[in-house]
Structure 1
Amino acid sequence: MTDVTPSLPVYLDYAATTPVDDRVAAVMQRYLTVDQLYANPASRSHMLGWQAEQAVEQARRQVADSLHADPREIVWTSGATEADNLALTGFMRANRERGMHLVTSIIEHKAVVDTASALELEGFEVTWLTPGTDGCITPEQLRHAMRDDTALVSLMAVNNELGSVNDIAALAAVAHEFGAAFHSDAAQAIGRIPLDVEAQGIDLMSLSAHKAYGPKGVGALYVRRHPDIRVEALIHGGGHERGMRSGTLPTHQIAGMGKAFALMAQEGDADQAHIAGLAERFMAGIAQTGGIYHNAGDGHHVPNIINLAFDGIDGESLLMALRDVAVSTGSACNSASVDPSYVLLGAGVPRSLALSSLRFSFGRFTTEADIDHALGVLQHAVSGLRAPAPAGSG
């Protein structure tokens, strides 16, 4: 155990959001106040507007470079949720003649699940794939679900609750065999797995800044420049972003996202090596406590997300017992629900274990001291919750 005292509370919920890197915040500050470059990037009649537009386009290139894409293929959004909505609804509405069938999985982010469900109400047909216990969809599964009228396949790169990694290149290849387009939610993937939209055959990809040490409230949708990839706008008014997403662009947030993605491209490998060491330390420490299961731990997964089930312990009770440690019972987008995680149930985790599960997620600023403190608190809490009640207490 390290002797360094951690900062409290210890934050192990990086999959929900990451802190903004100081270097990102410094870039954002340049575009906010009266003595900075605060102009509207759509104002092309004066130099201040040109300078703001230059910042937006530099960020567009930084995001594109991280994906090996063309900057003209990046469409700014308010986040990955909007990007998912634009990808699914915008594409399916614009390509009705290609087919009315969409394929996705039951453990996608709610932004995809709920959007696909809304499309069903519009008359589109959705096939919902069930992953294996490793939390992944196989190319063979997808192939069996494909039809002549399948227009789009949407499968995430990295699952936000399990950390499981899909082979998106192989899945995209299957989609293309049937003439369908392929979309992937990559909010949890930037800097954590290799992304190359050209080599992997990706047609649409959703991105988020705040999962990559950038600001909340900004994201992007990669849209391949190809005549067959058409997206109908969901937000109208001004024709910004090549007609796909109108609205005044938040220069400071976009510049922050660009810097964050540039840093992830430069430092992602070092970050992941650091995090992998922390994950190994965490798992070695937790192994001393019995009755703990690593959900979807038998497949390929990123090291920064570890989902554990604590047999015989209610997850909410354990969460409350973890003083000074910030973790979650699942996706932050579904945290108000008292039901077990639909992702865990979808991956075949028994309901009793799903109710006893917590997600631990590490990041760039997590230290060994944080891990050691969390282990101590966790082991104490588990022992206390599993201790038999005193005689006569019932």
Structure 2
Amino acid sequence: MRNTPTVYLDHAASTPMCDAAIAAMTEHLRDVGNASSLHASGRRRRRVVEESRERIAGSLGCRPSEIVFTSGGTEADNLALKGLFWSRRDADPARTRVLSTAIEHHAVLDPLEWLAEHEGAAVELLDVDGAGRLDPERVRAAIEADPGAVGLISLMWANNEVGTVQPVAEVAALAAAHGIPVHADAVQAVGAVPVDFAASGLDALSLSGHKVGGPQGVGALVARREAALTPLLHGGGQERGVRSGTVDVAAVAGLAAAVEIAVKQQADHAVRVAALRERLVEGVLRAVPDAVLNGAAPGEDRLPGNAHFSFPGCEGDSLLMLLDARGIECSTGSACSAGVPQPSHVLLALGHSPEMARSSLRFSLGWTSTEADVDAVADALGACVERARAARL
């Protein structure tokens, strides 16, 4: 048992549910009926779903009919990528090229790898600069190499590890000139930076409940009505026929409440957590002067609550556990394969060495973060880094 209170700085992985989402879910957990049923109980459930759809649409600048509820961001990404690829290829077998970036979340990279291995997709992962930003001119060149063969483009709105915000509207404009649909994984962006689906020019956008203060296990794909999607799931034909399955009404209500609150409070939230982030960066660099802040410089091109560091001479996993023992929870960007730590593909794409990539930690702030949380990191970090470095000798 810990005697110290937990300092939770892993909001990019999952942020606590907000009160409004808890209240919305609780209100409907005991409700009877299937939202697809025609009787009175079913119609009442359907009303909750459609009102939730309208609330989310009003928050994200889209039409209610463009929202497809899913089990989360991963399913939304899979539906967008596979659904768009199949429909575009079926209409024109030459459209097998898929453009994306080397820093995407695995919820995008793994479906693309599957499409390449099993469906003949020619996946091209475009390079980013040292801050993790994609140059739109690189996209232009890739498109113009063979525009008729490009089936779709997928570009994350903001990176989950280093927090770099991407030029999605510029990429969407380039693609639109050639009639190419663009999908964005906006899981990290909604509620953190301004997100307007219609203004972005995107054809599809993924979001997840538990990143914005909603429940886990629910999300949505926002997809233009004109964007043809081949379904992944076949059954009752719910969600305009592209996502069969009984809708989780309570979870959808919780998602709508969380999205509405997160978007409404986005500007104030960004100012508050950005100030905390600057306090954290200063404290970390004071405690460990040779630490390296990864990603874009703090500002418009970086998520306000993201601080990602490399600590030379440390193993990120060891440092994480040393901080965890002190009640401070954060994350590494590395994956673990057969018990062997692997360097983050994002940091490798930014040009870091494998050793530097393995020395990294992400601190991500959210709506419950405080100055005391930030100061606790600065107070504990120096000693933890010394122990982590000593363990490697």
User: Residue 120 of structure 2 aligns to which amino acid in structure 1?
Assistant: G
Do the aligned residues in 2 keep the contact of 1:138 with 1:171 (CA within 8 Å)? Answer: no
SS in 2 for 1:210: helix
Deviations 1:102-129 (A, max 9, x none): 1011110101101111111211211111
Deviations 1:231-259 (A, max 9, x none): 01000101111110000000010000000
- Separation (CA, whole Å) in 1 of partners of 2:176 and 2:339: 38
Deviations 1:342-382 (A, max 9, x none): 11111212211101000100000011111111211112212
Q: Which runs of 4+ in 1 moved over 3 A?
A: 331-337, 383-389
Q: CA deviation at 1:261?
A: 0.4
Do the aligned residues in 2 keep the contact of 1:110 with 1:333 (CA within 8 Å)? Answer: no
1:117 and 2:120 are equivalent in the alignment: no
Write the mapping of 1:124-139 to structure 2, written as runs, cut at 5 A.
124-139=121-136
- Separation (CA, whole Å) in 1 of partners of 2:39 and 2:177: 48
- Structure 2 vs 1, CA of residues 186 and 335 (structure 1 numbering), >3 Å: closer, same or farther? farther
- Separation (CA, whole Å) in 2 of partners of 1:333 and 1:28: 35
TM-score (norm 2): 0.92
- Separation (CA, whole Å) in 1 of partners of 2:247 and 2:195: 26
Partner of 2:100: 104
- Separation (CA, whole Å) in 1 of partners of 2:263 and 2:163: 20
Deviations 1:278-312 (A, max 9, x none): 10110111121211001113472112111100011
353, 356, 360: which one aligns with 1:353: 356
1:24 and 2:21 are equivalent in the alignment: yes
Q: CA deviation at 1:338?
A: 1.2
Q: CA deviation at 1:385?
A: 3.5
Do the aligned residues in 1 keep the contact of 2:74 with 2:107 (CA within 8 Å)? Answer: yes
SS in 2 for 1:136: coil
Which ranges in structure 1 are unaligned for 5 or more consecutive residues? 1-5
Which 10-residue stretch deviates more, 6-15 or 142-151? 6-15
Partner of 1:215: 215
Do the aligned residues in 1 keep the contact of 2:284 with 2:377 (CA within 8 Å)? Answer: no
- Structure 2 vs 1, CA of residues 102 and 333 (structure 1 numbering), >3 Å: closer, same or farther? farther
Which 10-residue stretch deviates more, 289-298 or 14-23? 289-298
Do the aligned residues in 1 keep the contact of 2:331 with 2:362 (CA within 8 Å)? Answer: yes
Partner of 1:343: 346
- Separation (CA, whole Å) in 1 of partners of 2:182 and 2:278: 34
Do the aligned residues in 2 keep the contact of 1:7 with 1:370 (CA within 8 Å)? Answer: no
240, 262, 267: which one aligns with 2:260: 262
- Structure 2 vs 1, CA of residues 212 and 334 (structure 1 numbering), >3 Å: closer, same or farther? farther
Which 10-residue stretch deviates more, 375-384 or 318-327? 375-384
SS in 2 for 1:287: helix
- Separation (CA, whole Å) in 1 of partners of 2:200 and 2:334: 27
- Separation (CA, whole Å) in 2 of partners of 1:52 and 1:263: 22
Partner of 1:385: 388
Do the aligned residues in 2 keep the contact of 1:39 with 1:49 (CA within 8 Å)? Answer: yes
Q: CA deviation at 1:333?
A: 10
Do the aligned residues in 2 keep the contact of 1:329 with 1:335 (CA within 8 Å)? Answer: no
Write the mapping of 1:136-215 to structure 2, written as runs, cut at 5 A.
136-146=133-143, 147-148=146-147, 149-215=149-215
Partner of 1:296: 295
Do the aligned residues in 2 keep the contact of 1:16 with 1:211 (CA within 8 Å)? Answer: yes
Do the aligned residues in 2 keep the contact of 1:295 with 1:349 (CA within 8 Å)? Answer: no
Do the aligned residues in 1 keep the contact of 2:334 with 2:341 (CA within 8 Å)? Answer: no
Do the aligned residues in 1 keep the contact of 2:162 with 2:308 (CA within 8 Å)? Answer: yes
- Structure 2 vs 1, CA of residues 275 and 38 (structure 1 numbering), >3 Å: closer, same or farther? farther
- Structure 2 vs 1, CA of residues 259 and 331 (structure 1 numbering), >3 Å: closer, same or farther? farther
- Separation (CA, whole Å) in 1 of partners of 2:49 and 2:338: 34
- Structure 2 vs 1, CA of residues 61 and 127 (structure 1 numbering), >3 Å: closer, same or farther? same
Which 10-residue stretch deviates more, 213-222 or 262-271? 262-271
Which ranges in structure 2 are unaligned for 5 or more consecutive residues? none
Q: CA deviation at 1:39?
A: 2.0
- State the aligned residue count: 379
Aligned-pair Cα RMSD in Å: 2.0
Q: CA deviation at 1:313?
A: 1.2
TM-score (norm 1): 0.92
- Structure 2 vs 1, CA of residues 335 and 380 (structure 1 numbering), >3 Å: closer, same or farther? farther
Partner of 1:66: 59
1:365 and 2:368 are equivalent in the alignment: yes
